[in-house]
Structure 1
Amino acid sequence: MTETASLLTTPQAPTAPARGARRFRCELGYLLSGLPLGLAAFTVAVTGAALGVSTLVVWAGLPILAGTLRAARALANLERRRVTAVTGRPLPSHRPRPSGTGWAGMLRAVRDPRSWRDLIHLVVAFPLQVVTFSVALTWTLGGIGELLYATWSWSLPRGQDNQGLVELIFDTSSQAADIGFNTAIGVFLLATAAPVVRRLAAVQTRFATALLTDRAATMP
C-alpha cells in the first residue's frame, strides 16, 4: 500500500522520447524566433550605428551612438538568455561598467569594447539566422506537406505540359508513383528533422557564445 502511494505521489521522470520531443520543440522555437528578433536587432544596430557615426562631427551622434550601444547590449542579453535556455549552460550577461551621466557618461559608454562586441554580433549574426530559419522551416513544414501530399495533390494542374518530379526522374505519369515518391520524401524529412534542427541550433548557439561570452563576468 505504501509503495502504491509513493508511486502516485512521486513525479515520474520524463521518458527519452518525451525529452527528445521537448528538446526538438525548444531548438525549433529558438531557430524560428531568431529571424524576427535578428531582423529587429540588425535594423537597430545598422541604423543607429550609421546615424551615430555620421553625425559625430556635430556631437549629435554621441547620444545616438550611446543609445544604440545600450540597445545592442539589451538585445545581446536577450540572446544570451535564449542561448542559455537552449543549451542549458549559463551565458553570463554583459555587466556594464559605471558610466555616469551627461556627455562624459555617454563617452565612456561609447568607449566600452564589450558593447561594441554586442553590436557586431547583432550585425554578423543576422545572415546566419536567415539561413538557419529558412532550412529549419523548409525541413519541418516541407516534411509535413510532403507527408500529406496525397490529401492535396489533387489541386495540382494535370496537363500534358505539366510534368511532375516523378515523371521527370522516372518517366512515368502514374499518380500512385507520384504520391508514393512525395510521401517518401516527407517521411525522410520528418525522420531527419530532429538531428538537422539540432545541428542548426548548435551552430547558431556556438556562434553566439563565441561573440557574447563576457570573459570578465566568468572570472571569479
Structure 2
Amino acid sequence: MTTTTPHAQPGSHSLRDSLPAPASVPAPVPAPTASGRPRGGRFGREVGYLLSGLPLGIAAFTLMIVGFALGVSTLILVIGLPVLAGTLAMARYLARVEADHIAVVTGRPLPARWEEPASRGAGAEAGSGGGRWKAVRDPQAWRDLAHAVLSFPVRVATFALSLTWLVGGLGGLTYGLWSWSIPRDDNDGLMDLAFGISGRGPDIAFNTALGVFLLVTAVPVVRGLTVAQASLGRVLLRRAQV
C-alpha cells in the first residue's frame, strides 16, 4: 500500500512556514554565586585590590595635583579652562576604574552617576567653550578629583598594612629555615631584645608563633582594609552610566 504526500497548494502555508525563525542563542553567562558575587577567591581579589591601589593612587594623586595647580594658575590665560577640563576628564576616568574595582571586589556596584541628557550626547557644544564650562561645573567631576587626592594616604596605609601582614606572616612561619643567615652580635633576636630570653630556640619559636598569628588574622585584616578603602569610594564616587 502506497501513501501519497500531499503537496502544498499555491497560496497555502504549511505548519513549518508559520513557525518563527529560530533566534540566535546568546553565549551562556557564568552563573553567580549564592551571594551574587563573581566566582573566584574573595581573599585574592581583596589582596589584589589593596596592592594595586598604591600605583594607581600615586598616578591619580600626581595627575590631579599637577593638573589642578596648572589649571588654576593659568585661569587668567586662555589655557586654564581646557587644562581644568582635561584634569576633570582624567579624574572621571580614574573614578570609573575605581568604581569597577569596588564592584568586583565587593560584589556591589556603586550607584549610577546622574547626567543631563544633553551632556551624554555628542552635541555640537561638546567641543565649544560652553561644553568645557559644563564639564568644569559638574559637581561629580570635582568629587572624582577629591577622591583621587584624598584616597592617596588611605591607599598608602592599606598597601603597607596588607603587605606587612602577608609578608610578615610568611616570613615568621618560615623563620626557622632562614634565621641562620641573620648576623647576630650581642642579642639573639626579638625574644632577647623584648624579654631578655636568649637562645636560638626561643627566638625561632617566638617568630614562628608571630607568623602564625599574622596569617590566621590575615583574612579579617585584609577584609577590613578593603572595606575602609572602598568606603571612601562609595561616599565620593558614582558609577558611569552606559
Q: How far apart, in 1, do the equivalents of 2:70 and 2:51 lie?
A: 30
**CA deviation after TM superposition for structure 1 residue 169, in Å:** 2.5
* Match in the other structure for 1:43: 62
Distance 1:20 1:28, change over 3 A: farther
Q: Is the 8 A contact 1:52 1:65 kept in 2?
A: yes
Show structure 1 runs of 5+ residues with no match: 1-12
- Normalized against structure 1, the TM-score is what? 0.84
Give the residue type in structure 1 aligned to 2:102.
Answer: V
Write out per-residue CA displacement over residues 72-122 of structure 1, whole angstroms, 9 at most, x where no aligned residue.
000001000000001101114546541621222111111111101100010
**CA deviation after TM superposition for structure 1 residue 163, in Å:** 4.8
Give the residue type in structure 1 aligned to 2:87.
Answer: T
2:217 to 176, 180, 192: 192
Whether 1:69 and 2:88 are equivalent positions in the alignment is: yes
Q: Secondary structure at the match of 2:76?
A: helix
Q: Is the 8 A contact 2:158 2:225 kept in 1?
A: yes
2:180 to 143, 154, 157: 154
Give the residue type in structure 2 aligned to 1:135.
Answer: L
Q: How far apart, in 1, do the equivalents of 2:81 and 2:191 lie?
A: 61
Aligned residues: 200
Q: How far apart, in 1, do the equivalents of 2:79 and 2:194 lie?
A: 63
* Match in the other structure for 2:127: 101
1:203 to 202, 213, 228: 228
Q: How far apart, in 1, do the equivalents of 2:39 and 2:101 lie?
A: 19
Q: How does 1:45-194 map to 2 (within 5 A)?
A: 45-92=64-111, 94=113, 96-97=115-116, 98=119, 100-160=126-186, 162-194=187-219
**CA deviation after TM superposition for structure 1 residue 168, in Å:** 2.0
Could you say which structure has the larger radius of gyration?
Answer: 2
Give the residue type in structure 2 aligned to 1:178.
Answer: D
Distance 1:146 1:20, change over 3 A: farther
Bigger helix share: 1
Whether 1:27 and 2:27 are equivalent positions in the alignment is: no
Q: Secondary structure at the match of 1:57?
A: coil
**CA deviation after TM superposition for structure 1 residue 158, in Å:** 2.1
Q: How far apart, in 1, do the equivalents of 2:86 and 2:113 lie?
A: 16
Q: How far apart, in 2, do the equivalents of 1:204 and 1:60 lie?
A: 35
Q: Secondary structure at the match of 2:41?
A: helix
* Match in the other structure for 2:20: none
Q: Percent identity?
A: 52
Q: Is the 8 A contact 2:188 2:199 kept in 1?
A: no
Show structure 2 runs of 5+ residues with no match: 1-31, 120-124
**CA deviation after TM superposition for structure 1 residue 60, in Å:** 1.0
Q: Is the 8 A contact 2:188 2:200 kept in 1?
A: no
* Match in the other structure for 2:22: none
